[in-house]
Chain A
Amino acid sequence: MIKTVSQAGLAVNEKLKIQKNSIKNGNSQKRVCIVTGTHGDELEGQYICYALGKYLEKNTDKLNGTVDIYPALNPLGIDSIMRGIPGYDLDMNRTFPGTESGTMPEMIAHEILEDIEGADICIDIHASNIFLREIPQIRMSVPTSETLLPYAKMLNVDFVWVHASATVLESTLAHSLNSAGTKTLVVEMGVGMRITKEYCLQLMDGILNLLVNLEMLTDVEIPKIREPIVSLDGAVGFINSPAAGIFVPEISFGSTVEKGDIIGKIVNPLTGSTAENAVAPCSGLLFTLREYPVVYGGSLIARILRQEDNNND
């Protein structure tokens, strides 16, 4: 059933509506929320919402509980290829928990949060932005990891990154929900403005596996779920561009690299010269790689999960 979670009148003859597809069966009070589209340029979650909605509508009889699918928390951003909220230039994922008496984005954030609160699990799906490609991964802060890690392992991702807390991230949907007691996992995968079907189907299997583990889905066959690498901040090596120019990768995304390997070149098309090489600071899995070629000094080129620090706990 399609429901409107929040709405606001736009200036000319149109309403902004945040909608969800609420799929319910059986007598279980359990509820899982699938949320995406907070950033208008992140579209990987679109295919997952479609595929999951289609699957559950076809297999409603196997469902015991409620699955709420929110495909577009920022519909205007998706419509206009804008990461933030058009008209405000605000990052929606810095407006939570919102407030009833705030500006339009804050009021919408408040109503979305109220609607999701109380769910057993929320999965907040992000793609990367247009600049970077990411393998399917879940990110969580250290304080939430004890609670969330068991669920993260059900979701068929390759990697779980447990990072330090930052005050500025307290304005995110995930932080606000976790603070309110609603367990929320943040998925990052793929690249902005594109759909990577392979990754979407991988996560889809994970979501179905989660529903089975929560006893919300029965009589379904789930492929073997992969065991993610779980890693702390210190195990991640960053490569930022050492110069301005055009980045040309020399290595495949998702491959294992050795310390000192050239990840790519920063070239200058005007002079036909190579300004700098981007070099791996450590050996390990290349789990982030720059997709958008134009770089300034400092632009993120890649992230590597250090081999020697990996643990599969």
Chain B
Amino acid sequence: MIEKTIFVLESVYREPLEVKAFCFGDMSRKTICIMGAMRGNEIQQMYVCARLVQELKKLEINGQIVKNTGIMVIPCANYHSMNIGKRFWAMDNTDINRMFPGYNLGETTQRIADGIFTEIQGFEYGIQLASFYQSGRFLTHIKQMVTEFTDDDGLVDFGLPYALKRTPKPYDTTTLNYNWQLWNTKAYSLFTHSTDDMKEDSADNAVNAILRFMKNRGIINYSIHPGYVTSVINESDMLQVHSPCGGICKIKTKIGDTVERGQVVAEILNPLTCEVLAEIKAPEKSTVFFHFESPLIVEGTVIFKLIKNDIIRGD
């Protein structure tokens, strides 16, 4: 393993931000890059990468990294925000993952994005440990933006139950995933259960999914359970259930559960009297893919994302 500093940013009163990369195998070949936390609350994303560093160290020592392949892991690109409990850039609240491909003469986060992207472009595969802006729990899944450069063959090689395809919106065009694809990297975003807190079982799933992908793509020699037959789903085909009012949110199901049409899956309570303001019912027989997780909810918030059972298919 080689530890490398890929970008340095000076600060007037803090130690410089040094973005560290951990490299394995033959780094004259840019085979796969795994990107962890770019936001200060992406603790789970950093943890998954850190766990992966440990696994790859062992594989390298045992000679299980295939000849002529190079692997780079960047666990955390933004610990200046992480160390002070902020999600976005410490000073100006901008999002590094909305600054790609970056600009070396531009604003600070554009320079960070440029510094990172200069190092991580040109890889054959790119995996970003991603997070959602809203509080909640997801089934661990892989997502890919559909662009003219998309190669979705790899989606099933992670062996996760679900893979999502997303049609990018204008605001997606400055993300790492989108720009990786523009620069010919086959890019995937891996979502785990959580963001701000560490979930060991979900981290296990994510680490195994990445190792499985590497095995299936001929990057490592590794014995691992083949995983699930992946259902590939268009994000737009999922059912979104909104909260009809604000109040205390009580979720009555878990991610991964199958719910029946009409089943009460959550209640919204009056926060001052505990009177039930609304019962949230499943609109179809479906699998709970995402649920909101916070004691208080605002009207119109997406409280559930459900996958209708009749669209689940192997791909």
> CB within 8 Å of B: which residues of A?
8-14, 16, 83-84, 87-90, 94, 101-104, 107-108, 129, 131, 167-171, 238, 240, 243-246, 268, 270, 294-300
Residue picked from B109, B171, B174, most chain A C-beta under 10 Å:
B171
Q: Cβ of A298 and Cβ of B111 under 8 Å apart?
A: yes
Which residues on the A side are within 8 Å of B64 (C-beta)?
none
Interface of B is mostly: loop
Interface string of B86-116 (1 = CB under 8 A from A): 0110011100001000000111111100000
Contact of B171 among A88, A107, A171, A245 (CB under 8 A): A171
5 smallest CB-CB distances across A and B, nearest first, come from A11-B296, A104-B300, A9-B246, A9-B299, A170-B170
Known: A10-B246, A168-B174. A300 touches B107 (CB 8 A): yes
Check B84 for interface membership: any CB of A closer than 8 A.
no
Task: Report the separation of the CA atoms of residues A299 and B107 in the bound assembly, to the nearest whole angstrom.
Answer: 5
Q: Cβ of B173 and Cβ of A167 under 8 Å apart?
A: yes
Which residues on the B side are within 8 Å of A298 (C-beta)?
105-111
Interface string of B26-42 (1 = CB under 8 A from A): 00000000000000000
Task: Report the separation of the CA atoms of residues A14 and B98 in the bound assembly, to the nearest whole angstrom.
Answer: 32
Interface string of B295-314 (1 = CB under 8 A from A): 01111111000000000000
Q: Cβ of A103 and Cβ of B88 under 8 Å apart?
A: no
Q: Cβ of A244 and Cβ of B10 under 8 Å apart?
A: yes
Interface string of B70-91 (1 = CB under 8 A from A): 0000000000000000011001
Which residues on the B side are within 8 Å of A243 (C-beta)?
10
> CB within 8 Å of A: which residues of B?
9-13, 87-88, 91-93, 98, 105-111, 133-134, 169-171, 173-174, 240, 242, 245-248, 271-272, 296-302
Can you name the residue of chain A whose Cβ is closest to the Cβ of B245? Answer: A9
Which residues on the A side are within 8 Å of B108 (C-beta)?
296-299
Q: Cβ of A104 and Cβ of B298 under 8 Å apart?
A: yes
Q: Cβ of A240 and Cβ of B300 under 8 Å apart?
A: no
Q: Cβ of B11 and Cβ of A296 under 8 Å apart?
A: yes
Task: Report the separation of the CA atoms of residues A268 and B170 in the bound assembly, to the nearest whole angstrom.
Answer: 40
Q: Cβ of B10 and Cβ of A297 under 8 Å apart?
A: yes
Can you name the residue of chain B whose Cβ is closest to the Cβ of A238? Answer: B105
Residue picked from B12, B134, B240, most chain A C-beta under 10 Å:
B12
Task: Report the separation of the CA atoms of residues A38 and B258 in the bound assembly, to the nearest whole angstrom.
Answer: 40
Q: Cβ of A90 and Cβ of B246 under 8 Å apart?
A: no
Residue picked from A16, A102, A103, A129, most chain B C-beta under 10 Å:
A103
Q: How far is the CB of A293 from chain B (nearest CB, A)?
A: 10
